[in-house]
Amino acid sequence: MVRRVILSSRVADSLLEMARLAYPLEMLALLRGEKRGDGVYVEELLFAPLSKHSSSSVYFRLDLMPMDFTIVGLAHSHPSGIPKPSLDDLQNFIGRVMLILIPPFSSYRDIYAFNSDGERLRVVVEG
């Protein structure tokens, strides 16, 4: 069972910067990494192909998603500041984890992690 998501400081900083630059629109990124023990290690970010962004949602075509078994989840921002997955988020869950970033996108405390049941996971930033 996954209990935590481990991000390098480089990945965490990149996610926060992407969210700041996209604001007031939502940002979306695919998470590439691997499961080790009770954690999911996120090693890289990928841009979702042909994603469409708005202030309340972001969509991308699943049929254009790369066939990549190292994709462990999705990260997206909630410009509204609500740090919980919506029903739509959970229905479109991909991989093992989902990260949600909330304004002001200035510290690692603005990154939240969840499993496919919407249960909160611990976020660990290393390095």
| Per-residue pLDDT band at 33 (split at 50, 70, 90) | very high
d(CA 101, CA 81): 8
Q: Which two tokens stand for residue 82?
A: 């609500």
User: For the domain that residue 16 is a member of, what is the CATH number?
Assistant: 3.40.140.10
Q: What is the pLDDT of residue 76?
A: 94
Q: What is the pLDDT of residue 92?
A: 86
pLDDT above 80 for 56: no
Q: Quote the number of domains for the chain.
A: 1
Q: Could you tell me the CA-to-CA distances from 10 to 18, 33, 42, 93 in Å, in that order?
A: 12, 14, 10, 24
- For position 53, what pLDDT does the model report? 45
**Residue 13, pLDDT above cutoff 50:** yes
Please give the residue range of the domain that contains residue 38: 4-126
- Residue-wise pLDDT tens digits, 87-109: 999 998 989 999 999 999 999 99
pTM of the entire predicted model: 0.89
Residues catalogued as catalytic: 26
